[in-house]
Structures are given as C-alpha cells and as structure tokens.
Amino acid sequence: MRHATKRIVLCGLSTVGKAFAELIEQRREQITRKYGLNLQIAAAVDIGGAAVADQGDLPLDELLRHLDAGGLVETFSPYGRPGLSGTEALASIPAQILVETTPTNLVDGEPARGHILAALNNGLDVVSANKGPLVLYYREIRNLADDKGCRILMSAATAAALPTLDVGLICLAGADVLAIEGVLNGTTNYILTRMHVEKCSYQTALQAAQEMGIAETDPTLDVEGFDTRNKMIVIANRIFDQNFGPDDVPLEGITGVTPADIDNAIAAGNVIKLVGTAARDINGLTISVAPKVLEADHPLAAVNFAEKGISYLTDTMGRVTVTGGKSSPTGAAAALLKDLIHTVILSD
C-alpha cells in the first residue's frame, strides 16, 4: 500500500482538541495499516502560543502529559513557541491540513474564522469541529475553498459522531434530497424523554439532566433551540449549497412544553421532539426549529434520552435515517479523525 504523510496544524487544545490528539496517538499504527496514512501533528496551537515540530511529529504522549499536569503548550520544551498564533503557524509551518477545535464563537466566528481562511489561503484542507465560522460565514469559506482547490469537512460541527453529512453527501449521492429532519441536541431530547416517560414537568426533567451532567448550568443554548438551529444551518448549507444564517431560521425551544402537551401527545400515540427541519415548499427551501409532534412510526420518534438522529427524505431512495453516535469529546474527536481520513482517501 502506498503511504502518504500528512502534516497537521491543530488549533485548539481544550477537551475536543486533546481528545483528538489522544486518538491520533492511540490509532497511529492502525491508520497507517488500514488507510496508508502517516498522520503527523506538526503544530499544536492554543491561546498563549504553540508547540512546533520543524520536522516530523510532535511527541503527543509527552505533550498530553505536559498539558494534563497543568503545563501550557507554549512551555512544552523544546517545542514551545510563546506568542505564536494560529494564523502565523498556518502561514509558516509546512502542513497539509488544519484541524480546528477552538471554542465556538457565534458573534464573529473568531479565532476560528481567521484560522480557516489562513489555512485555505495557504493551500491547506480544513477539518473543523467549530460551528461559528460555518454558521456565520459559510459562503465566504466555501467560495475560498473552491477557489483554492481545497477541501473543507465539517462533520464534527453537526452532531459529533452522528454521521449527518456523510449520509447526505455520500450515501445519497445521485438522489435529490427533498427534506431533512433532525433531533440534534441530546440535552433537549433527554429532557423531553424524561417528561414523556415520567410525566414530570420541564423543570424537574431539566434538574435531572443538570445533575447528570447532560445539561449545562445555563442550558439556554440547548433548550432555546440555538444549538439545533446552528447544526441545521451547517447541514442545510452543505447539503443544499445554500447560504442560510441565524436570522433565516424561525426558532422555538422546549421551555414552553408542558405536561399537558406531553399527555395529549401520549393519548394520541405520539411523541414530542425538538426537531430541526429543512424542506422545500412553494417558497423554496426553508429551515425551522421547534417542538414537533411525531407519530409513533416516524423514524425519529424512537430516538430517546441523549441520543440524536437525522432523517433524509429523497426522491429515489425514499427515507433514510441514522441514529446514535457518541456525544462526547471523544465522539467529536472521532468525527474529526473520520473527516481527516476522508480528505485523503476520497480524493484519490
């Protein structure tokens, strides 16, 4: 098997970035044996600077131990480069792929937007777990990637390990997608499932989710539907080649769902889920997010607790649905690794 060496600039060393580095270290021999890829982390960049391997690969096991002990990436001797930014690293370090895992910023998309644009301008493919730039600047990024002949993959930004985009882009190739429905937020789905199973109030279910660590102390992004909206924007823009933004999506969260609403759904043999929808109608393509009453035989009706699912309706293949996928830093890291492998093997 022909072996290809791919050098990576990793921007972001929070939980997902560290999980990605761990996965690369754990699976290195398997990836080489199975896919013919020699993956090297040429640089790891965080807020205060970077660690850079001028040749070859950073020693990831040593770097991770250094970080776990409370060290900073820029103090990792002898590789540390205090003050080196992501854009500077992408412009100066020989590499082929950016892996972007910095925290999502839905105000201006930075610093991830700058990292992605710098990578594309320097001829690097991009693999991103960061939704911010993809929600706010999708068309700019897509056009630049096309102009530069680069690939940009974003599965990890659309529901961690759930293969949302792989199904729509690869498995359904040749079919026309008529509609997409997604239960894409594990927190809201857990709350609604508890309300359904235990006949409890929203507040009781939310408290249980918070005690289990499924919901944040401030759950607004999840329960008000913003997370589902952002994922649906990325999915719909990629599948339908559109340019939707946050202001284009009518939004309703689950805070107004009452036990009476749940009881009425149960009495009719139905279930309530927070569903993101992208569908064609007389007005063209529209996206919306709202609690939706699903009949028992709907494929997303059985997606319960913290699981997620996505369902595609097509003209020639009928309805195709996939559910599950690990929701965790490891699940997101696995999606990044999958996309990274796809940037190479799908281009051959």
231 is catalytic: yes
* Alpha-carbon torsion (327, 329, 6, 10), positive or negative: positive
Closest Cα partner for 223 from 250, 189, 195, 197?
A: 189
Rounded to 5°, the CA angle 149-131-298 comes to: 105
CA distance 25 to 36: 16
- Say if CB 231 and CB 270 are below 8 A apart: no
Q: Which residues are within 8 A (CB) of 15 and not within 5 positions of it... i.e. 6 or more apart?
A: 329
Provide, for the chain, the percentages of residues in helix, strand and coil under a 3-state DSSP scheme, each rounded to the nearest 5.
Answer: 45, 20, 35
| Exposure letters 91-103 (e unless 16+ CB within 10 A, then b) | eebebbbbbbbbe
How many CB atoms within 10 Å of residue 78? Answer: 5
Rounded Cα distance, 206 and 164, in Å:
26
CA distances from 204 to 98, 186, 255, 272 (A): 42, 17, 12, 17
Which is the catalytic residue, given 231, 273, 292, 308? 231
C-alpha 239/C-alpha 173 separation (Å) is: 11
* Nearest alpha carbon to residue 129 among 163, 151, 104, 109: 104
Q: Is-contact 213 283, C-beta < 8 A? A: no
For residue 338, the number of C-alpha atoms closer than 13 Å in the C-beta half-sphere is 19
- Residue 289, beta-bridge partner list: 251, 276
**Cα–Cα distance measured from residue 135 to residue 112, given in angstroms and rounded to the nearest whole number:** 12
Q: Among all residues, which ones are annotated catalytic? A: 231
